[in-house]
Structure 1
């Protein structure tokens, strides 16, 4: 039963609004780009973003809009959802929200993320409804996603102008279900074990039939409040089964983000291991340096496809409102870390594969 005082408090509630954002600049030098090596690398604009959080009469808003150069997809919404809190432990999100799968928010410590991001399983955001129940030692999340980041409602191919990787080309993601369960092993919540399940459909634009897709993952995360060390371990398996036309049963799908598509094997396993150490520094300019090594291995279950590797060794410098990532990113059959783009995550470079390195410094001012 609602008391008169409660009604009065709600009527007198004032809207709350918090605005923020970031500007990021980027330097990179890629060993496989001879002209760039001769120039000594390139330094330029990376991204500008605006964040908004609002609350009024029990309804909350969370949104983030990003602008990149046209070569990287231009401007698009990274996330945007409405939220209602049933209690301190339970909430509902409706809109473009993070898919509950694997280690969150990031299965990595570096600017490049890990291998899971490039196949759509790290910091992925889709359009749907998500329920979160978190009681400290136990947390579970359940979600239904009608589609990925589809900003044009038609039967055309999904645009790769988006933040997180999704199936694109002649297939479209739809009707996805997710369930994630997390158990923290002690009262300090430092040790976390989790299991994630995902299943959905793939609508083929040529046959007008739905194929299927599924994924599962287990993870362990060590993130103590009063220790400089963090550890993230994850193993997962996925499968795409699109309904291609007769005679065109391809063993890959297209995936896209940041304005471009590439091919990905229809079946595979991903294994990731991340370790980081935070060193506090008591100076006016610099507050801490976090050193990390993040490794990802992509095993493709398709005959003739070469496997892929990714390893990022680097450090994050925290200087007031600035975060400066300094990374040496090594790739083996990786589209972002090597000369082969379209087939790096399928056939690879057919026996001529080598490790390549991109040295990268990303400077961000967050406000």
Structure 2
């Protein structure tokens, strides 16, 4: 316990001293000028984990990750760059580019963006409040960033449309795996021999989000939306091409401080596997695993922010449930439940999350958890996160 207190005190003191000096230069320029404005932000993160499925409970405070984000905004042009560094065993043994794009404002309500960017599928970049995220992220349908072009339009004050074409994934970066050292979950070259090897290309996506006016309920806000994803799936062993067809429907409800997001949909992939296997290999965060070709997916998230609860700290409790109902029937359902709370004050944040999961490759499962299943039962993980935000 004394060791933890020393690490927390020294880490907080050093980061406060150095980054507060740096914070004065995080924003410069004028977004309304031709030269534009540059904004630098990010965070440093440490964590402590407790896993009920391993003898190594990892009761040590350690550096976990860092994020650097640079945004550019000018009168007619905008852009974004984001890079992440993670520590599994050594500092930045996995790191990845997340975004690198440049856009042009066709008008006040219409933009076009080129480069590595978030795909317009589902209600937004993240469908949950949790830092660990729901399992649809690991299934490659949420928080996906690929290389392509995107058109965005505010059709009117309550309706937004996105249409996009992505040529491929965002590439492979620093890590130990053959092809899985990237932030987003994409189809990859397998780390194990004799597994399906497919790659996704020529992705077409469309999304429509509509705000529903509720004049008789001024404290209630409702948004409804849907999105569609079609692409080519190339079998690298025999050069045959299958396809992805995926759709999602979602709602976002806000009532005073309460926020609820519900997302559901279906993903179906054909990759013409010569052995008739009902899965392909997906990779992210420097590891690869099998994913069922066909599944319905669900994410439910609720949070309730409370400002200035105690000594200037704000608190946000949250709950996330996500699931994959896979086909064929003998493929076992995957579930992930997350119970969390976050406290924020100034530059600092502390979050605690307890995850209870079944058939989950990231929580005590194995490479088959998102396909046939792993028969290992429910697994639990406690994750405590400490942030310095700048």
Match of 1:125 in 2: 145
Deviation at 1:223? 2.9
Q: Secondary structure at the match of 1:139?
A: strand
Match of 2:223 in 1: 192
Distance 2:251 2:43 in 1: 31
Distance 1:112 1:365 in 2: 17
Q: Which of these residues, 164, 170, 192, is aligned with residue 149 of structure 1? A: 170
TM-superposition CA deviations, 1:92-147 (whole Å, max 9, x none): 11111111111213110111111211111111111000111123311110000000
Deviation at 1:292? 1.0
Distance 1:182 1:266 in 2: 27
Give 1:329-340 correspondences, 5 Å limit: 329-338=355-364, 340=365
In the superposition, the TM-score normalised over structure 1's length comes to 0.88
Deviation at 1:150? 2.1
Match of 1:6 in 2: none
Match of 1:290 in 2: 316
Deviation at 1:284? 4.8
Distance 1:185 1:140 in 2: 15
Q: Report the RMSD for the aligned CA atoms in angstroms.
A: 2.1
Give 1:172-321 correspondences, 5 Å limit: 172-186=199-213, 190-224=221-255, 227-244=256-273, 246=274, 248-281=275-308, 283-286=310-313, 288-321=314-347
Distance 1:47 1:31 in 2: 23
Give 1:154-173 correspondences, 5 Å limit: 159-169=179-189, 170-173=197-200
> How many corresponding residue pairs?
342
Q: Which of these residues, 138, 154, 169, is aligned with residue 159 of structure 2? A: 138
Q: Secondary structure at the match of 2:71?
A: strand
Deviation at 1:173? 1.0
8 A Cα contact 1:325 1:362, kept in partner: yes
8 A Cα contact 1:73 1:160, kept in partner: no
8 A Cα contact 1:110 1:316, kept in partner: no
Instruction: Evaluate the alpha carbon distance shift between residue 31 and residue 313 of structure 1 in structure 2; reply closer, same or farther with a 3 A threshold.
Output: same
Deviation at 1:260? 0.5
Of 104-113 and 138-147, deviating more is: 104-113
Q: For structure 2, list consecutive stretches of 5 or more residues without a partner in the other structure.
A: 1-32, 190-196
Deviation at 1:200? 0.2
Deviation at 1:328? 0.5
Distance 1:15 1:279 in 2: 35
Instruction: Give the 4+ runs in structure 1 shifted more than 4 A.
Output: 70-73, 282-285
Match of 1:9 in 2: none
8 A Cα contact 2:105 2:111, kept in partner: yes
> 1:346 aligned to 2:371?
yes
Deviation at 1:282? 5.0
8 A Cα contact 1:158 1:172, kept in partner: no
Distance 1:292 1:273 in 2: 11
TM-superposition CA deviations, 1:183-213 (whole Å, max 9, x none): 1101778201101100101112111122111
Instruction: Evaluate the alpha carbon distance shift between residue 89 and residue 57 of structure 1 in structure 2; reply closer, same or farther with a 3 A threshold.
Output: closer
Q: Which of these residues, 104, 110, 118, is aligned with residue 98 of structure 1? A: 118
Instruction: Evaluate the alpha carbon distance shift between residue 223 and residue 158 of structure 1 in structure 2; reply closer, same or farther with a 3 A threshold.
Output: farther
8 A Cα contact 1:115 1:270, kept in partner: no
Distance 1:26 1:314 in 2: 14
